[in-house]
């Protein structure tokens, strides 16, 4: 089946964690649909590789640690000097180690929550005022089914993603009187490098919970994000869109 063509002409999108996995595929689809894309990532080598791979004059990038508010503000200001930011995809995230809560390293726990939750907050806080000024915006926060179910031995990740869901619902309501939509997506496990951070046993446990019996394909995820980011999404906001292959019960 061919991909639906979305129209992102004259739209500027910021994608965090955009140099690999979900973020890179979203960047590719946005560029093919006419958008100007800025990817933010902490991995300089992956940024260089993705720029070479995408090879598009409408693509720009910046090395940004989303858990550092000052870096986020500086990167935002560099964009809004010359352009509005129409779309924000909060995709940057890490899983952290697989461990029980009572044995979890405290500093690593904080780091995982900082990137997954505070990173989403930092980007929204910095970018939303520009969207309000322009009376237009589409924000998609990449959460996880772990934020709804709470995965055993992944407390920091589950907490960070649950927080991102709460943030989505709150911010979506705050902006509901404007042409700004804020939604979250909750994917189950997908074929990305993030799986490499987990033990084989943990990956197998995740897969066993999915009635469709397979991992999510990256392109399937991107299609959902594209619709939520488009002008066609005129009503859905402060909502959570599940893409878990039947795993989720709510």
- Write down the catalytic residue from 69, 104, 157, 250: 157
Annotated catalytic residue 136: no
Q: Do 156 and 96 touch, CB atoms closer than 8 A?
A: yes
| Separation of alpha carbons 123 and 142, rounded Å | 13
**Residue with the two structure tokens 């919970």:** 209
Q: Which residues contact 131 (CB under 8 A, 6 or more apart)?
A: 84, 85, 86, 88, 137, 139, 175, 178, 180
H helices within 175-217, ranges in order?
Answer: 200-208
Going from the C-alpha of 112 to that of each of 3, 136, 149, 237, the distances in angstroms are 34, 31, 18, 26
Q: Are strands 87-90 and 12-16 parallel, antiparallel or unpaired?
A: parallel
Any idea which residues carry the catalytic annotation? 157
């Amino acid at each position: 089946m061919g991909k639906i063509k979305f129209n992102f002409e004259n739209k500027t999108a910021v994608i965090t964690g955009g140099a690999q996995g979900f973020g890179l595929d979203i960047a590719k689809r946005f560029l093919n649909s006419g958008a100007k894309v800025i990817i933010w990532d902490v991995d300089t080598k992956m940024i260089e590789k993705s720029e070479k791979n995408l090879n598009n004059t409408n693509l720009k990038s910046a090395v940004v640690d989303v858990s550092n508010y000052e870096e986020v503000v500086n990167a935002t200001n560099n964009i809004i000097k010359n352009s509005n930011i129409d779309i924000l995809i909060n995709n940057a995230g890490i899983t952290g180690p697989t461990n029980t809560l009572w044995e979890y390293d405290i500093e690593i726990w904080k780091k995982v929550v900082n990137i997954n939750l505070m990173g989403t907050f930092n980007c929204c806080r910095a970018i939303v005022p520009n969207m309000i000024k322009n009376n237009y915006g589409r924000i998609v926060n990449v959460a996880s089914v772990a934020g709804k179910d709470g995965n055993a031995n992944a407390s920091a990740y589950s907490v960070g993603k649950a927080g991102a869901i709460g943030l989505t619902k709150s911010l979506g309501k705050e902006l509901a009187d404007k042409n700004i939509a804020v939604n979250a997506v909750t994917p189950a496990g997908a074929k990305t490098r993030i799986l490499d951070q987990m033990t084989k046993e943990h990956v197998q446990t995740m897969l066993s919970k999915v009635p469709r019996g397979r991992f999510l394909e990256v392109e399937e995820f991107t299609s959902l994000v594209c619709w939520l980011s488009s002008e066609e999404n005129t009503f859905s906001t402060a909502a959570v869109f599940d893409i878990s292959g039947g795993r989720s019960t709510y």
